[in-house]
Amino acid sequence: MRTLTTGDQAPDFDLPTHDGSRVKLSDLAASHRGVIVYFYPKAATPGCTTQACDFRDNEAALAAAGYAIVGVSTDPLADLVAFAQDQHVPFPFASDEDHSVAESFDTWGDYMHHTGPRTGTLRSTFVVDPDMTLSYVEYGVDPDGHVARLREVLGA
């Protein structure tokens, strides 16, 4: 599997979100210093909840620094609606049910889960600049402390 790297063009996407709207990456990127796009395997699971709440708790500081956040999952919209409501998430969760966006970001593949091998979304984070260039790429994200490390890199 090829992986994206810093300096690559980000694949654009237009996905439905938990709040009934849509998010088009190029439109969002054009109006921000950067867009943090993070891919997570499954809504309401421990690691994904840790990561979502960490982004939620740091959203104001990231927004003040000019960054928008979008969480992308292959979960159905109904699951994302419940997850966003349960965790009081202020940023969009986008549904990529056919995993085409995950594939375009090279975040769809085989991985080892504590219950055995799986195929699905690989936890990954990207920062997309206004011109759609990737300024930050991280595959194999550990959700614990991830946002603090990202804020340090971004100076946010």
**Residues tagged active-site:** 48
Could you tell me where the DSSP H helices lie in 36-76? 46-64
DSSP secondary structure code for residue 9 in this structure: B
Rounded CA-CA distance 48/39 in Å is: 9
Cβ-Cβ contacts under 8 Å for 152 (sequence gap 6 or more): none
Name the one residue in this structure whose structure tokens are 């549904």. Answer: 95
